[in-house]
Structure formats: C-alpha cells, structure tokens
Amino acid sequence: MASDDEFTGEDHRRTVVRETVDLAISGEPEMEVRAAREIRRLTKTSARYRRLFAEAGVIETLVRMLALPMDGSKEAALLALLNLAVKDE
C-alpha cells in the first residue's frame, strides 16, 4: 500500500507540471523559455515528469517554440523535447 508521502510527492509533481505548463503557454516569450528550461531540467532524469508533461500536452507548445525568434527559445525547446523523447528502459 502506498504511503501518504508518495501521494504528497505525486501531488507536488502535478502542481509543478501545471505551473510550468501555464508559464509555457503564457504568451510571454521570456516565461516560455524559462518554462522550457524547467521542463528540460525536470525531465532529464525523471520518467514520472516525462509522463506528466506529455500528458499535459506540452509537446505541441514546445514544437511551436522552435519557431520563436527570441534568443534561446529554439535551444530550450529542442532540449526539452529531446528529454521528453527519451524512452525509459
């Protein structure tokens, strides 16, 4: 049986994902880049975060960011997408 701590951890992850996705779709380029960098960081080693971000529909937003003219947007979006594409073995 799962402990209360596990549920709390999952709730925390869902909150982090929701807040980060909100930044990614904010319409403010600087916030979108910040969100992409955070997605990259969170998904680098966590299969749970990869799953939660994919379920949240952030992939389309990151693909859209590849076309933004702002410095750093392409790199941040691409690196986040690459982390999301990692298959867990």
Query: What was the pLDDT predicted at 81?
Result: 98
How many CA atoms are closer than 13 Å to the CA of 77, on its beta-carbon side?
A: 24
| pLDDT value of residue 7 | 59
Q: Is the pTM of this model over 0.85?
A: yes
Domain layout of the chain by residue ranges: 4-85
Check if the beta carbon of residue 56 is closer than 8 Å to that of residue 22.
no
pLDDT the model gives residue 71: 84
Q: How many helices (H) and strands (E) does the chain have?
A: 5, 0
pLDDT value at residue 70: 84
Local mean pLDDT, 10-residue blocks, the chain (89 residues): 62 96 95 97 96 97 92 95 87
| Distance, C-alpha 2 to centroid of its chain | 26
What local confidence, expressed as pLDDT, does residue 1 receive?
A: 43
User: Which amino acid makes up residue 64?
Assistant: R
